[in-house]
Structure formats: structure tokens, C-alpha cells
Amino acid sequence: MAETGGVPSLLWVMLAAAMAPWLSDRLAALRLPVVALELLLGVLIGPEGLGLAAFDGALPVLARIGVALLFFLAGTEIDFGTLGGAPLRRGAAGWLLSLALAGAVAFGLAHLGFLHNPAVVALALSTTALGVIAPILRDAGLTGTPTGIAATACGVMGEVGPILLMSALFAGPGHQLTQVGLTALFAAIAVAVCWASLRIRPPGLLGMLARTMHRSGQWPVRVCMLLVIALVVLAENFGLDLALGAFAAGLAVGQANRNPRSEVLAHKLDAVGFGVMVPVFFVTSGMQLEVRALFAQPAALGAVALLTLLLLVVRGLPALVFLNPLTARETAAVGLYAATSLSLIVALTSAAVAVGQMTRFHATELVAAGLVSVLLFPWLAGLLLPPSRRSSSAPAPADAL
């Protein structure tokens, strides 16, 4: 286990993970999301801060598991019974508009000499961090409300669309069509897995799952983890990002887990993911930010501000597709939630750096913009929605949107 100053780096990471929710509760008036504090604490303990921890040893592996569980839990949040129909159609239309806006802006800025990686930037600007906003929506009491449904629909499309396009973007020259075919094949397999989880329900298997739910073996949790790893490995063997496999596993588990008796399993998965592994991903992501280089160059800070503004414009403006069923303030809040992006930006820029399509410094600029969006946009969205509206809105049927 790697040590810095005699103290294992993992211990500092877990200390930061434990401090983040405590600080969020102590600073409740600021409405700072826990994930934002995890990132900031990661910067504090990392090489660019106090230098207490280094991203080595077991941390890269744990962070990889953490990001897989982040996308898995985001998939479990999706309820097609609520999102199906109008909300998902509006979310898809909004994302396609975002993608068009992102492409126009990114390639326009590249033509003017302001950007060097327009394809990567365009895809990053079209993302939404569903894994980040889902717990924020839940903590704010918005799950099942018209605003929460609209924000979730934006988040679903802001994750699924970019994940599907990532494989083609990073395929080698002449391999794009092959990669698209492999993506389609994996999508078909994922759909089959989701269908099987809904239709194939042997009484004996269900009985064993129920019997072992509260035993030390925790078989249902182990089966879910097996499904995550299996689909992640399958996705990576197809040349796809692990996020797609983890997200597909979450969809399968989430659709099969839509009954009151299954809430116990959902709580257990939350405990494993958000309680242990996902914080490791966010804290270590903060540790890897090159903040000193950003602050040393005023132009870099300007680039971060510009990218943050572009996130708001590209992902926020298309939320106007929800204006008819929602009020102006609710629509603005949905736009802010949709513009909240980080986890996919981290995955996207890491892949771009690995294949030589982006420098580490430019990747840091994009990740920093995503960090600002996580710090700022959900907080602004919370200010737009009165507490009574956030906590007491009745669940809305899908047809309402």
C-alpha cells in the first residue's frame, strides 16, 4: 500500500470520503453536494494540495471499481414506467439539440484557433452526470416530481448518448464502422439481459434471493456485483468504455427491482456504492487535477470559465423542451441539472489522453469546468426551487410531461 509521509494514501482518501458528508451537513446553508466536497477534499490531500496522498498503489483499481459502480447505480435509478413516453422523448430531443449546438460551438472555436480537440470537447459538452445528479435529486426530495422526472430524462440521454458515441470517437482510423457494429451488438445483448431480468423469474431463484437477503452471504448483492463485472468485461472486450457495461447492468437490476420488497436490496447497493467505492473515485479524481498549472496561467482559468459557460448553454438551453409542462423556474432548474457534468468528462478525457487525442493539461481544463458545474449548477437549481416545492410535490405520471 502506497504511503506518503508514513501514512497510507488510502487512509487519507477514506478520511476525505468520511469528511465530505459531515461537511455537507455542517454547511447545509450553502447546499454543496457531497460529490463536490469529495472533489475539493481530493485536491486538498493530493499532490497539487498538501501532498498527503498519491494516486498509486491500490487506488487506481479502487477508483475504477468506483466509477463502474457510479454508472451502475445511475442505471438502477431509471424507471421506464415513469420516464417512458413524453419525458424520454423530450430528453432525447434536448440531447440531440445539445449535440448539434456542441458540435457547432466546438468546431467553430477550433476554426478560430481556440480549441485543439473539437470532437472530444463537443462530446464532453453534451454530457450530463446522471450518477451525480441522481443522489442530489433524491436528497432534495425531487425524485418522482415533474422537475425530477424531467432532470432524470435529461440525465439518461446525457449519459447513454455520449457513452455510445465514445467508442466510435476513439476507434482507430478505418475502424469506426466496425466499432459502431460492436456497439450495436453490445446494446442488443444489454437489451436481452434487461428483458431476461424482467421476464425470467424462477420461483426457486427468487425464494433464494429473498432468504439470503439478510444473511451474511448477501447473495443478491454478490449477484449484482457479478452482473456489473460481467457486463463491464464484455463491454471492454468489445472495445467500449466500462461505463456502458456498468450502466447496462444497472438498467437490468433496476428494472427487475421495481417492487416494495426489493427496496432492501436497493439500500444495500447504495451502501456499497455511495458509502464505499464511489467516494474513492471522486476523491481520487480531485487528487489528479492539475490545479497549480491552471492558477499559474490566467488564460487557462479563462478557458475553464468559457467551458463552464458552454456547458450551461449547450445542455441548459435545450431544457426549454420541458417549458410547456413545467414553470419557467422549474425549467431553469432542469437546465441547470442537465448542465451538471463531471463523471463522463473524466472518463472521456482519460480515454482521449490515453490514445493521444488530448493533452493532460487540456483534459484538466475540461474536468475543472465539470467540477465547477457540479459545485455551482445544482446549488443554483436548489435556489430556484422553494423548499416546499422540493419536498412536497406529488409524484407525477409520465404523461404529465
pLDDT, position 88: 82
At residue 394, does pLDDT exceed 50?
Answer: no
Residue 29 lies in a domain: yes
Residue 399 lies in a domain: no
**Contact indicator for 343, 132 with CB cutoff of 8 Å:** yes
How many structural domains does the chain have?
1
Distance CA 315, CA 132 (A): 15
Residue 91 lies in a domain: yes
* Cα dist from 320 to 21, 86, 136, 169, 315, whole Å: 33, 14, 21, 29, 10
Question: pLDDT tens digits, residue range 308-337?
Answer: 999 999 999 998 888 877 888 888 999 999
Distance CA 377, CA 379 (A): 5
Q: What is the mean pLDDT of residues 230-239?
A: 77
Q: Structural domain of residue 250, as residue ranges?
A: 5-384
Instruction: Return the CATH number at 35.
Output: 1.20.1530.20
Q: How confident is the model at residue 62 (pLDDT cuts 50, 70, 90)?
A: confident
Distance CA 122, CA 83 (A): 26
Residue 400 lies in a domain: no
Q: What is the mean pLDDT of residues 184-211?
A: 67
Residue 309 lies in a domain: yes
pLDDT, position 99: 92
Question: pLDDT tens digits, residue range 137-174?
Answer: 887 788 778 888 888 888 888 888 887 787 666 655 55
Top pLDDT among 347 and 286 is at 286
Residue 394 lies in a domain: no
Other beta carbons less than 10 A from residue 187's beta carbon: 15
Residue 194 lies in a domain: yes
Residue 52 lies in a domain: yes
